[in-house]
Amino acid sequence: MTKPRLREAFWLVVVGLIVAVAYGTVYLAQQEVVSAEGLTWGGTFLALLMAAHLVVRRALPLADPWIMPGAGLLTGIGITMTYRIKPSLAGPQTAWFVISLVLLAALVLLVRDHHVLERYKYVIGAGSVLMLALTISPAGKTVNGSQLWIDFGPAQIQPGEFAKLGIVIFLAAYLRENRELLAQRISPKHLGPLVLFWLMSLGLLVLMNDFGTSLLFYGSFLLLVYVATGRAWYPLVGGAAFAAGAAFIYQTSGRIRERVNIWLDPWADAQDTGYQPLQALFAIADGGVFGRGLGQAFVVTPNGATLIPDAQTDFIFAVIADELGFVGAVGLLMCFVVFTWRGFSIAASCRDGFSKLLAFGLSAVLAMQAIVIVGGVVRLLPLTGQTLPFVSYGGSSLLANWLLVGLLLMISHHGAVERQRDLQGARA
């Protein structure tokens, strides 16, 4: 076994133990009976992680060892907290985790090398836009005012999560091809398809009323173009255009106006629109430094509803802050920082532009998503209805993010292989 895989195995075991203990604690608090079921689940979780580990060991032996344990820890905490908030949802989320790992294995074993994606960049880009278009078609469903979902019989998926990946792949590939040109001159011929593509997706998002994902798309676009071309002009003008667009949207969209007003002063309408963010703040304050303890806080009211509406999705961070305290919340944020750091390191160590940009884009979009949703919960920004990657309850989000993990692992492995080859070549 290679050294990275040894490390990974070790940390996966550690993660598995942590998650098992956490789950068991919640189980105890809920059932007040010491039983093996808490441990059974923990064991299953660890087994799943080890199975994924075996696949990676086979196919990508040189990949970065911290990506999977990081994602695994976040997922495990997520399922534990979902179980704590609404036990009936833990089963579906675990099922989605299994599906995610299966698809991860499929991706890794079938695609093998991410450079394949470069060839299909237009297909992937168009496919992403199409997925978004489907939600505003008759097949789409409106939930909470946003048209985010497509019904697939027993399951519902959020195409926005997958479109996110698709757009990053497309941008990375396109920019790699055209970045020298774009860096020297702003040429409509080369900028054209890019902007067109981007406008289409943005327009769809606006039509879908999903401003959170628009923010992420726009942000990843600006960052990727900046890193690829080195021209600060892009993010600066882009930022200005965003401000103008935001002001326009503020004037025209009552919903956005409401969101911004609640952000600035949730007390103004504390019982109605301000209720959710305020209860989240109260939960955070309740946690203090060390938290109330897993399963101990007042999260579920006597009639079964959660105190914070949507506690298991947008506001899961507030529940974590309540039960695990400042220490736990910062720990969780550190997980994201470390994960992002590893993703950027992978990008930095890659030789070819596509790998670099892809690894960078994927890590950046994940970090931005975490910042946007946690920022909304702590009132750094207005709330945007994003999920906290790996942690929030949601099948599409979990699946998309594990595919992201798969991509990062592939990039990491092939990057390391290349470096090894160079070293051997230099020796030869």
Partner 1 sequence: MKSTMNSRMATVFTGICVAFVGIIGLLTWWQIVVAGELRQKDENNQTAYYEQRVQRGFIETRDGVRVAGRTSAKGANGDTVWQRTYPAGGLAAHVIGYDSRGHSRTGVERAMNDTLTGSTRDLGAVVGLLDGDEEVVGDNVRLTIDARGQRAAEQALAETGAPGGAVVAIEPATGRVLTMASIPTFSPADAVKDFKAVSARPGSLLNRATLAGYPPGSTFKLVTAAAALEGGVSPDRRFEGGATFATPGPDIQNFGGSTAPPHDFTYALTNSVNTSFAELGTELGDAKLREQMRRFGFFSVPPLRGLPRNEMRASGLTGEGGKPLPEGRDFDEARTAIGQERLTVTPLQMALVTAGIANGGRVLEPTLVERITRPAGGIVEQRQEATWKTAISPDTARELGRMMESVVREGSGTAAALEGVSVAGKTGTADFQGRNLTWFVAFAPADAPKVAIAVAIEGRESGQTGGVVAAPIARRVIEALLGRGGAA
Q: Are 415 and 113 in contact (CB under 8 A)?
A: no
Q: Are 9 and 60 in contact (CB under 8 A)?
A: no
Min. distance of Cβ 287 from partner 1 in angstroms?
6
Taking residues 182 to 221 in sequence order and writing x for each that binds partner 1 by CB under 8 A, - otherwise, the string is: ----------------------------------------
Taking residues 36 to 75 in sequence order and writing x for each that binds partner 1 by CB under 8 A, - otherwise, the string is: ----------------------------------------
User: Under rule CB under 8 A, which residues in 223-252 are in contact with partner 1?
Assistant: 223, 226-228, 230
Is 378 a binding residue for partner 1 by CB under 8 A? The answer is yes
Which one, 148 or 316, has the nearer CB to partner 1?
316
Min. distance of Cβ 407 from partner 1 in angstroms?
17
Q: Of the candidates 2, 296, 310, 419, which one interacts with partner 1 according to CB under 8 A?
A: 296
Is 77 a binding residue for partner 1 by CB under 8 A? The answer is no
Q: Of the candidates 98, 236, 241, 330, which one interacts with partner 1 according to CB under 8 A?
A: 330
Taking residues 250 to 289 in sequence order and writing x for each that binds partner 1 by CB under 8 A, - otherwise, the string is: -----------------x--xx------xx-xxxxxxxxx
Which one, 129 or 371, has the nearer CB to partner 1?
371
Interface residues with partner 1 (CB under 8 A) are: 180, 223, 226-228, 230, 267, 270-271, 278-279, 281-289, 293, 296-298, 300-304, 307, 321, 325-326, 329-330, 333, 336-337, 340-341, 344, 347-348, 351, 353, 356-357, 360, 364, 367-368, 371, 374-375, 378-380
